[in-house]
Copies of this chain bind each other. A is one copy, B any other.
Amino acid sequence: MRHPHTLGTHGKGSPVATIRDVAREAGVSIATVSRVFNDSSLVSEATVRNVREVASKLNYWPNGVARSLITSRTHALGVLLPDMYGEFFSDVIRGIDLAARQHGFHLLVSSSHADSEALTDALRSMSGRVDGMVVMAPDVDAPEAVRGFAVHCPVVLLNPGGEVEQCDTIAIANAEGASEMVRHLVGLGHQRIAFVRGPQKNLDSEQRLQGYRAALREAGLAPSPDLELQGDFTEPSGYEAAIELARRKDRPTAVFVANDHMAVGVLSGLLDSGLSVPNDMAVTGFDDIAMARYTSPPLTTVRVNTSLLGERAVELLLRARRSANPDVKQHELLPTSLAVRSSCGSRPRRGEDALRWRKNRTIPASID
């Protein structure tokens, strides 16, 4: 169970001062020192000064682990992600970090949980080290792994992909966003709209596909397997899909790609096939990663406020304990919106995106 590579004890250098050292040096009991460091009002002014002075001389600071053991508070939130690649996950983390910091919490991060077993391991190894956990595992059966864990420790599941009773959840409005995008394309006159899927078992991808199909049907267009290409959320897989599409005789006039990374690959693939976007084919993506504004042409996509996803997760976690009845679980849906740029052939909306900071400027401002 133990891992072979471990660090030695702290004791290698000069040993860390403990509460006892401070107490001895200051001529008080350890309870008094503890009280000083907990801002207890019970300590006299003079004693506080004395203890603080001795403590800073000895370079003392209360040991967090010992504190946690007795208080059963860690001031840390666990974050379990499938991996660390791509802007999407770093945006989620940024949101989580932002909210956590506001409440004085650290983040205990662990990524790359390929299967359900790895996830369980990670959950267990964080056991007792955190006050709550944010779990995102779009590829595996997360609810299963989380079950039996959420009783001890508040958990919020990101994108659970179904009904979950055991814990709070936040889902991205994948189907709704995808439908909206398809309606937009239909509105522009497209009748043959292809879709490039993500990995087989990925829930986001699946939901986006469902939304795509639903909107087609709504518009009186029949979904067809011919129009649904397999991808895996990576840029190269988008490139391949584009090559495949370009070579068809009954080419679709638009392609909706299940995420922006693949959409970037699709743009390259169409370019290399000698097709022009959006004239020969409209291309749209999903996620609105930062890069989407810089492709040529700029990518029309479904905007997801990714960092908000992280923020909400933390809020839910913290609210879980404050609430009167922690047994009623919250289930949120994170709405999406359309980021219309030129890759779909429609005129970008005014004041869109990065262009915003180029207008109305007098002073240097920060990017939002």
Contacts and interface: CB of A to CB of B under 8 A. Distances in A.
A151 B73 CA distance: 27
A8 interface: yes
Contacts of A204: none
Nearest to A111: B97
Interface in A154-173: 154
A45 interface: no
A87 to B, nearest CB: 7
A175 to B, nearest CB: 27
A119 to B, nearest CB: 14
Interface string A236-277: 110110010000000000000000000010001001100000
A38 B2 contact: yes
B94 A16 contact: no
A151 B1 contact: no
A132 interface: yes
B64 A272 contact: no
A243 B10 contact: no
A76 B109 CA distance: 9
A12 B153 CA distance: 9
Interface string A100-135: 010110111111100000000000111111011000
A14 B361 CA distance: 57
Interface stretch (A205-213, A218-226, A291-299): A291-299
B90 A367 contact: no
B243 A365 contact: yes
Given A87-B87, A90-B84, A110-B101, A128 B63 contact: yes
Interface in A290-337: 290-291, 294-296, 317-318, 321, 326
Identify which of A7, A59, A131, A154 gathers the most chain B CB atoms within 10 Å of its CB. Answer: A7
A75 interface: yes
A156 to B, nearest CB: 13
What 6 A-B pairs come out closest when comparing CB atoms?
A3-B104, A90-B90, A63-B128, A7-B131, A84-B94, A8-B321
Contact of A237 (B11, B63, B71, B364): B364
A364 B236 CA distance: 7
B13 A367 contact: no
A291 B68 CA distance: 42
A98 interface: yes
Contacts of A72: 9-11
Contacts of A110: 101, 106-107
A202 interface: no
Contacts of A8: 321
A141 interface: no
A303 to B, nearest CB: 18
A138 to B, nearest CB: 17
A13 to B, nearest CB: 4
A64 B98 CA distance: 26
Contacts of A112: 97, 101
A327 to B, nearest CB: 9
A59 B358 CA distance: 57
Interface string A61-94: 1111110110111111000000011010010011
